[in-house]
Structure 1
Amino acid sequence: MKNDKKRANVTIFDVAKEAQVSKSTVSLVLTKSEKVSDKSKAKVLHAIEKLGYVYNREAAALRSKRTNLVALVMNDLTCPLCAQLAVELEKQVYTLGMVPMLVSTNECIERQQQAVQAFKEYNVSAFIMIPAKGTSRQWLDNLYDSGFLVITIMREIAFAKAPSILPDNKKGAHLATSHLIEVGARHIAALGEQDCFEYQAKLAGFQSALTSHHVKHQATVIDVQNNRRAGKKAFKQLIETHRNIDAVMCFSDFIAYGVVDTMREIGLSPGRDIKVIGFNDFADSQFMTPSLSSVKIDINEICRRTCQTLSEQLSGTTPAATTIVDVTLQLRDSSQICEIGV
């Protein structure tokens, strides 16, 4: 009888301490997960046997029961692309028989943590997230290891455990830059925010296009915040120091809007004097004067693949670690107007 009481007092924390592993590792072993190494599994099982720990599966099942709620944690609903994603995700999550709960973090880590904690208390089934800037792999992995289904979209946290659904940013930048070269541009500048998750992929696509077309002029790459005002300022500085620039590849439509504004202010004709291409193809881009060429991200396909991944997770199937969704180039006047007399 004394021995039974001792066993009842042994907790999962005692097992973790004895095995010198985390509580989440013990939980994974108890639920027969394949995500634990054989070495860690052996240490946990040895600690369980030594301490006499008894796993109450019935109580565990009750604790882990999930609702039909899906948390949509968006980074910035003032961004047109993010807003479109939220609307389409809501539609497609409902088709799975689940109910979406939407929140915007405004790129704030603290707000993201608060929102996720609140959703955990509601015992949501899954998190679909555009991670805020500064999100760490450890934090995301801890959420994943705690038993929640987690999917990141648009932004990938390198080497994190949660699956990611991403647009092909490298291909988009490659296509856009190649087009500029094919219409005669040779002195091309790239404007983008280095602090953005997708910056390196877009930069790689920009550089690969220059290489594949044997453009020997050294590329001008400028770090600029992702907004219209920053685009205006960056282009003013660019044209003062690089007067031979004949095309600008912008890593965002917001930046491209600023570039076009400044070109008009200083008497240049966008598309004729200097060609411009944006990225994301916001709805307003086609109504500008001249209309803005841009890389289009297929929002519907991003959301469809996300919900497909969620369905796989719900059924116990392991989804692809990374899903890349194709992009297309929308060509308009800002990159296609020929020089006068040509």
Structure 2
Amino acid sequence: MIKKHPNDKITIFDVAEHAGVSKSTVSLVLTHSDKVSDKSKAKVERAIAELGYVYNRDAASLRSRRSRLVALVINDLTNPYSAQLAVGLEQYIYDLGLVPMLVNTGESFARQQQVVNTLKEYNVAAFVMCPAPATDKQWQNELIQSGFPVINIMREISLSSAPCILPDNRKGTFLAAEHLLSQAVQELAFIGGNSDISDYHERLAGFEQALSEHPSAVHSHIINSATTRQGGHQAFQKLRRQAPSVQAVVCFSDVIAYGFIEAMREVGLTPGKDIKVVGFDDLDDSALMTPALSSVRIDAAEIGRRTTAVLKEIMAGNKAPVRTLIDVELQVRESSL
């Protein structure tokens, strides 16, 4: 039995002795390593509880130059899908024994630079980011070269050294456009999105691929807008002026589709009947609308799981996959039938 003066601090050596294991085993348990058996882990945790040992993570991070914090740098937390994704990521990061620190860049590269510079001072273990528009490979590569692992989610930075986890955007819009073209739609449009981000180009490419594979002559339109509800509303007005006979639209996101549908109703048009509408993201509210919105479903939980799997590999010093594609599927509902 370890006996100490009340003012003496319990050390990692005391825990090891009490548990009957080595100091290195205690260290592995304290750092949430998976290289220790459940039996040894239970012994160490019991010894910690019995001795009242408190692990000084600040001191440990100074020694290793790495904290247990993971920075989640999200492009726009006002977007429901971004918020849903962040919540999913948080739980998976907690499961690794790490602590997420969530920040919002508001789609501003300047703000992204500012928050990253601040978070570097905390010696975060890694940055998981959905890059803001105008993020370039040089900036990301310099961050990585300075010793901070970076993982991109949802968006890809061309030639960046950071691994990325992406939904199969191209497949998603291809499926959406094919679904509409199979119903003999002769005039359709791609609505919304920012040409400064990779997912816009991927989703547009899928839309255009479906058009190229369709044998009949089809008129198509591309309407850019902000990736907001208001952006969808404005996109409808612009499309109405340019192509009043359009029969169907593939929207860059569900949020844009919401705004587009609202604008349709304001002029007496019925979604699904006068214009077929397909969104992208498949937010929870999309199935509850009237009519229910067809949408391309992205599994946010799978993105979170695969992101943390890559993070785990990086932190173990292993080579992580450069590009991970998450499958998507089209959920067909009344808005496009």
TM-score, normalised relative to structure 2:
0.78
2:125 maps to what in 1? 125
Give a deviation string over 1:102-121, Cα, whole Å, max 9, x none: 11111222322222122211
User: CA offset at residue 234 of structure 1?
Assistant: 2.0
2:174 maps to what in 1? 174
1:307 maps to what in 2? 308
Q: Return the letter of the residue paired with 2:178.
A: S
CA–CA separation in structure 2 for the residues paired with 1:184 and 1:320: 41
- Does structure 1 residue 88 correspond to structure 2 residue 88? yes
Q: Return the letter of the residue paired with 1:311.
A: K
1:98 maps to what in 2? 98
User: CA offset at residue 184 of structure 1?
Assistant: 2.6
CA–CA separation in structure 2 for the residues paired with 1:237 and 1:81: 25
2:164 maps to what in 1? 164
Q: Matched residue of 1:216: which SS?
A: coil
Q: Matched residue of 1:188: which SS?
A: strand
User: CA offset at residue 254 of structure 1?
Assistant: 1.8
The 1:142–1:261 alpha-carbon spacing in structure 2 relative to 1, beyond 3 Å, is same
Confirm or deny: 8 A CA contact 2:69 2:125 kept in the other structure.
yes
User: CA offset at residue 64 of structure 1?
Assistant: 5.4
2:255 maps to what in 1? 254
CA–CA separation in structure 2 for the residues paired with 1:140 and 1:289: 43
2:3 maps to what in 1? none
Equivalent residues in 2 for 1:1-342, closer than 5 Å? 65-193=65-193, 194-336=195-337
Give a deviation string over 1:176-201, Cα, whole Å, max 9, x none: 00011112312111112223331111
CA–CA separation in structure 2 for the residues paired with 1:268 and 1:119: 49
User: CA offset at residue 97 of structure 1?
Assistant: 1.2
Q: Matched residue of 2:160: which SS?
A: coil
CA–CA separation in structure 2 for the residues paired with 1:227 and 1:121: 33
CA–CA separation in structure 2 for the residues paired with 1:96 and 1:241: 52
CA–CA separation in structure 2 for the residues paired with 1:163 and 1:243: 43
Q: Matched residue of 2:219: which SS?
A: coil
Q: Return the letter of the residue paired with 2:175.
A: L
Q: Identify which range, 257-266 or 166-175, moves more after superposition.
A: 257-266
User: CA offset at residue 222 of structure 1?
Assistant: 1.4
Give a deviation string over 1:30-68, Cα, whole Å, max 9, x none: xxxxxxxxxxxxxxxxxxxxxxxxxxxxxxx97753122
- Structure 1 unaligned residues grouped into runs of 5+: 1-60, 337-342
The 1:93–1:242 alpha-carbon spacing in structure 2 relative to 1, beyond 3 Å, is same
CA–CA separation in structure 2 for the residues paired with 1:161 and 1:284: 36
CA–CA separation in structure 1 for the residues paired with 2:271 and 2:197: 26
User: CA offset at residue 280 of structure 1?
Assistant: 1.1
Q: Return the letter of the residue paired with 1:303.
A: G
2:50 maps to what in 1? none
After superposing on structure 2, the runs of 4+ consecutive aligned residues of structure 1 that deviate more than 3 Å are: 61-64
Query: Could you say what the CA RMSD is over the residues aligned between the two structures, in angstroms?
Result: 1.6
User: CA offset at residue 230 of structure 1?
Assistant: 2.3
CA–CA separation in structure 2 for the residues paired with 1:295 and 1:265: 25
Give a deviation string over 1:230-278, Cα, whole Å, max 9, x none: 2222212322332321111111112211221122122221101210101
The 1:234–1:65 alpha-carbon spacing in structure 2 relative to 1, beyond 3 Å, is closer
CA–CA separation in structure 2 for the residues paired with 1:281 and 1:272: 20
User: CA offset at residue 134 of structure 1?
Assistant: 1.5
Confirm or deny: 8 A CA contact 2:192 2:231 kept in the other structure.
no
Q: Return the letter of the residue paired with 2:235.
A: A
Q: Identify which range, 84-93 or 101-110, moves more after superposition.
A: 101-110
Give a deviation string over 1:308-328, Cα, whole Å, max 9, x none: 000111111111111110111
CA–CA separation in structure 2 for the residues paired with 1:308 and 1:241: 47
User: CA offset at residue 81 of structure 1?
Assistant: 0.9
- Identity between Structure 1 and Structure 2 (%): 51
- Structure 2 unaligned residues grouped into runs of 5+: 1-60
The 1:63–1:108 alpha-carbon spacing in structure 2 relative to 1, beyond 3 Å, is farther
Q: Return the letter of the residue paired with 2:144.
A: Y
Q: Return the letter of the residue paired with 1:253.
A: D
CA–CA separation in structure 2 for the residues paired with 1:302 and 1:123: 25
1:51 maps to what in 2? none
